[in-house]
Amino acid sequence: MEQHAQRYAGSIDQAPGVGENEHSDSMAMYTAGLGFALLLTCASFMVSQTDLLWPPGVPAGLAVLAIAQMGVHLVFFLQIGTGPDNTNNVVALAFGLLVVTLVVSGSLWIMAHLNANMMPASAIMEMQR
C-alpha cells in the first residue's frame, strides 16, 4: 500500500479534501477559507440590511455573494481546484451543477407560466355553476 502510494504520487488524480501537501498547506487553506467566508457572509448581511446597494439590485447582489461564497467553500474547504489532477472532481461538479440548474430554473419557468395561464379561482367557480 505504502509503495503503491509512492509509485502513484505525482501521477494523476486527486480527490476532494485530499490536498497535495496535506501536511503543510491545509491549515493555511482552512484559515484563509474561513476569513473569506466570514467576509462574504458579513457582506451579504450588510447588503440585505442596508441601502448600500441600489435596492432593486439587492437580490442579484445577494446571489453573486452567495455564489462567490460557495466557490470559496469548494476551493478552500473541499479543496476542489482547477489543477490538472482535479479533472474528475470538476467534471462531476459540472454535471451536478447542470442538473441543479435544470431542476431549479425549469421549475421556476414552468410554474411561472402555469401561474400566468391559470384561470382565476372565481372563473372556475362560475363554470361549475
Partner 1 sequence: MSAQAAMAGLAGAEAATTGGLNSAGPAPVRIVVAYGFWLFLLSDIIMFSALFASYAVLSGQTAGGPSGRELFELRHVGIETLCLLLSSYTCGLGVVAIERRRLVFFYVSFALTFALGATFLGLEVSEFVGLVARGAGPSRSAFLSAFFSLVGLHGAHVTAGLLWLTFMVAQTAARGPRDFVRRRLLCFSLFWHALDIIWVALLTLVYLMGAR
Residues that bind partner 1 (CB under 8 A): 1, 4-5, 7-8, 11-18, 22-23, 26-27, 30-31, 33-34, 37-38, 41, 44-45, 47-49, 58-59, 62-63, 65-66, 69-70, 73-74, 77-78, 84, 87-89, 91-93, 95-96, 99-100, 103-104, 106-108, 111
- If the CB atoms of residues 52 and 66 are measured against partner 1, the closer one turns out to be 66
- If the CB atoms of residues 108 and 124 are measured against partner 1, the closer one turns out to be 108
Tell the smallest beta-carbon distance from residue 121 to partner 1 (Å): 13
Rounded CA separation 44/49 (Å): 9
- If the CB atoms of residues 38 and 52 are measured against partner 1, the closer one turns out to be 38
Rounded CA separation 125/69 (Å): 48
Tell the smallest beta-carbon distance from residue 26 to partner 1 (Å): 5
List the one residue out of 72, 81, 79, 80 whose CA is nearest residue 38: 72
SS3 annotation, 15-82:
CCCCCCCCCCHHHHHHHHHHHHHHHHHHHHHHHHHCCCCCHHHHHHHHHHHHHHHHHHHHHHHCCCCC
- If the CB atoms of residues 111 and 124 are measured against partner 1, the closer one turns out to be 111
